A and B are shown apart, each in its own frame.
Chain A
Amino acid sequence: MSVQTWTFIIVGLTFALYIGIAIWSRAGSTSEFYVAGGGVHPVANGMATAADWMSAASFISMAGLISFMGYDGAVFLMGWTGGYVLLALLLAPYLRKFGKFTVPDFIGDRYYSNVARTVAVVCAIIVSFTYVAGQMRGVGVVFSRFLEVDITTGVYIGMAIVFFYAVLGGMKGITYTQVAQYCVLIFAYMVPAFFISIAMTGNVIPQLGLIGDVTDGSGMALLDKLDQLHTELGFAEYTTGTKTMTDVFAITFALMVGTAGLPHVIVRFFTVPKVKDARVSAGWALVFIAILYTTAPAIAAFARTNLINTVSNEQYASMPEWFKKWEETGLIAFTDKNEDGIIQYVGDKDKNELTIDRDIMVLANPEIANLPNWVIALVAAGGLAAALSTAAGLLLVISTAISRDLIKMQIKPDVTEKGELMWARIGAVFAVIVAGYFGINPPGFVAAVVALAFGLAAASFFPAIVLGVFDKRMNREGAIAGMVIGISLMLWYMLKFKFGIFDGGKDAVAALQPGWWFGISPEGFGTVAMTVNLIIALIVSRLTPAPPQEVQDIVEDIRVPRGAGSAHVH
């Protein structure tokens, strides 16, 4: 059977499964809509968190990025997993004990202020929207490549599916669909990885293949072979990288703290029954994430070696079929500069003749390695599962921010439960439409902003929540000053050094690099902005009155697990 027939069958089956689950798990109350009734098993929640967390970027782009960055790719690997340690140790159990529905709920109550609540709502919506636009785009790309419909139609199909289960099922529908989506996406990621690992290293486990020897008879370690290829072609050595140590540190730290501060991740820990479930659930989430994240660097190294062996110094005319197919999409481009009909893929920019979009590595990998057609179709279904599960989680945060944090808590406190549920659904409809719009008309800056969303989350939420639990003396004035200054500083740095707004636009960005503070790139600046937030908050809080006694009592109460009721409606 052809790749396309296989894709229709596998994608069709998985979609039928998601819709079936959505119908079975409809939400009947606001508590079910917001936090799945607070009755999700910790392992299931861990799986759902993993699917929620691993987006189209993790599934489609990350291995490709690492493959081109070599050692520097570690910033994503450590940054996007290490945050779960912070989440488990510093946030999840306490927020579960606090026992409400959203991050702005916590900020608003802990800092006894609707101003703080509003600041948090605005931050949550900005972070979630930039993210969700990227997901819908991912859905469109997978559809257009594998089902040969155009990207716009692909986005519409994706919108319809997400609309169905997010609006109908709320958190309950999303949670159980995400469990299914995790299974699909991890299966789709691992199958090609096993095949390629065996082919390249003779070891079925990719994590062991990465530290194993290549099977080409040279007896060399895979990574040594890759370093050698890189050096010969004039690229930087694969295992050392090119970024400065300070920048690697700053980016990794910003991603870790940003991960722990993302509202759609935090809210997942409100769905389990007890405080101790929240702790162990973070552990399970990381286990499920680590399976993919420790496989990704192996795939990256295999794909890189494979690619160089296939294309470097070969006749252009004798390139395999996948090469031509991706050339048509414009994601691979060859210009024969010295007109010898041979592909020169080298580090020197003036002599290099081949450009490869790093996003295609995972999608093209099964073809590069000559795997059967059903594996290629499976990868398409996996990419869709990753994008849809993350999109749904983000849409829920946005709809909840509208129905609960704005309508119920601020505009119309006397709204009935039924009315609030209706508002939540209206919010979800609104969010799906806006996300779809950005998927079809992506602003040029989406990709850049997604990376920076972590910086924004790090600079705003993380210190406010951690101080709210660990510093009883932290008050309204300190938290608001910290959040506002932290996120403003981050936005300013981003606009200045990423978009060049103050110096004549994007073309000026490269020239501004010597002006980076401490040599830190905009992606890593979240680390600095977070530190500033923390210091400002501590100073301001000590110069202003202590929080009222009842707030101090709340802090005492969330520090101990006993007495966490189910997440309830107030």
Chain B
Amino acid sequence: MASLDKRAKEYWKENIKYVLILLSIWFLVSYVFGIFLAEPLNAIRIGGAKLGFWFAQQGSIYVFVILIFVYVRLMNKLDKKYEFDEI
């Protein structure tokens, strides 16, 4: 295993990458789907609701929950990979 310093740097780099990807999805479902593109998306329907409206009041919240649990899973794996998991 590499030195502690190097491990910490690489661990941090991967962490930042995960955070950026997940926050892009966070931004996409709430701000892009729920606000900026809500009007065009309203032409599509999910059940009896317009899609833009649905993302703003329902869909984005479901995605938020999923995002956190995906992050937890990714980070638990990353902790193990770089041996930073808590004993």
Q: Say yes or no: B48 contacts A82, CB within 8 Å.
A: no
Instruction: State whether A294 and B53 are in contact (beta carbons under 8 Å apart), knowing that A222-B48, A562-B86 are contacts in the complex.
Output: no
Alpha-carbon separation in the docked complex, A37 to B69 (Å): 26
- Does more than half of chain B's interface fall in helix, strand or loop, or is it mixed? helix
Q: Is the CB of A74 within 8 A of B56?
A: yes
Complex formed: what's the CA distance from A276 to B67 in Å? 15
A274 proximal to B (CB < 8 A) = yes
A89 in contact with B49 (CB, 8 Å) = no
A280 touches B72 (CB 8 A): yes
What per-residue 1/0 map shows which CB atoms of A288-310 lie under 8 Å from chain B? 00100110010000000000000
Docked Cα-Cα span, A207 to B46, in Å, equals 12
CA distance A276 to B83 in the complex (A): 14
A31 at the interface (CB under 8 A from B): no
Q: How many Å lie between the Cα of A560 and that of B23 in the bound state?
A: 20
Tell me how many residues of A have a C-beta within 8 Å of chain B. Answer: 51
CB distance from A65 to the nearest CB of B (A): 12
Interface residues of B (CB under 8 A from A): 8, 11-12, 15, 19, 22-23, 26, 30-31, 34-36, 38-39, 42, 46-50, 53-54, 56-58, 60-62, 64-65, 67-69, 71-72, 75-76, 79, 82-87
Q: Is A357 an interface residue (CB 8 A)?
A: no
Interface string of A68-111 (1 = CB under 8 A from B): 00010110011001101100111001000000000000000000
CA distance A249 to B64 in the complex (A): 17
Q: Roughly how many angstroms separate A88 CA and B87 CA in the complex, as a whole number?
A: 21
Q: A71-B57, A77-B57 are in contact. List 8 more A-B contacts (CB 8 A).
A: A77-B56, A85-B68, A89-B68, A210-B58, A223-B49, A279-B68, A279-B72, A286-B64
| Interchain CA distance A8-B21 in the complex, whole Å | 51
Asked if residues A283 and B72 are in contact (CB atoms below 8 Å), the reply is yes
> A236 to chain B: closest CB distance in Å?
13
The answer to whether the Cβ of A412 comes within 8 Å of any Cβ in the partner chain is no
Residues of B within 8 A of A562 (CB): 79, 83-87
Give Cα A88 to B68, complex, Å: 7
B68 touches A286 (CB 8 A): yes
- A88–B64 Cα distance when bound, in Å, is 11
**Which residues of A are in contact with B by a Cβ distance under 8 Å?**
66, 71, 73-74, 77-78, 81-82, 84-85, 88-90, 93, 207-208, 210-213, 221-224, 239-240, 245, 248-249, 252-253, 274-276, 279-280, 282-283, 286-287, 290, 293-294, 297, 556, 559-564
Contact with B48, one of A223, A240, A245, A274 (Cβ below 8 angstroms): A223
- A82 and B60 in contact, given A89-B23, A211-B46, A222-B48 (Cβ under 8 angstroms): yes
Assess whether B64 is in contact with A90, with CB atoms less than 8 Å apart.
Answer: no
| Contact assessment for B49 and A210 in the assembled complex, using a CB-CB cutoff below 8 Å | yes
Name A559's contact: one of B12, B22, B71 (CB within 8 Å).
B12
Closest chain B residue to A79, Cβ basis: B30
Q: 17 pairs across A/B with beta carbons < 8 Å?
A: A78-B61, A82-B64, A85-B22, A85-B64, A89-B71, A223-B53, A239-B53, A240-B53, A248-B35, A249-B31, A276-B72, A276-B85, A279-B75, A297-B58, A559-B12, A561-B79, A561-B86
Collect the chain A residues with CB atoms within 8 Å of residue B86's CB: 274-276, 561-564
- Inter-chain contact A556/B26, CB cutoff 8 Å: no
Inter-chain CA distance A562–B60, complex, in Å, is 33
Contact B54 A276 (CB under 8 A): no
B46 to chain A, nearest CB (A): 6
Which residues of the other chain, B, contact A280 by a CB distance below 8 angstroms? 69, 72
Most buried by B among A89, A279, A294, A562: A89
Interchain nearest-CB distance for B87 vs A (Å): 7
State the CA gap A560–B78 with chains docked (Å): 10
Give A77 Cβ to nearest chain B Cβ, in Å: 5
Residues of A within 8 A of B42 (CB): 239-240
- Say which residue of B15, B36, B65 sits within 8 Å of A245 (CB atoms): B36
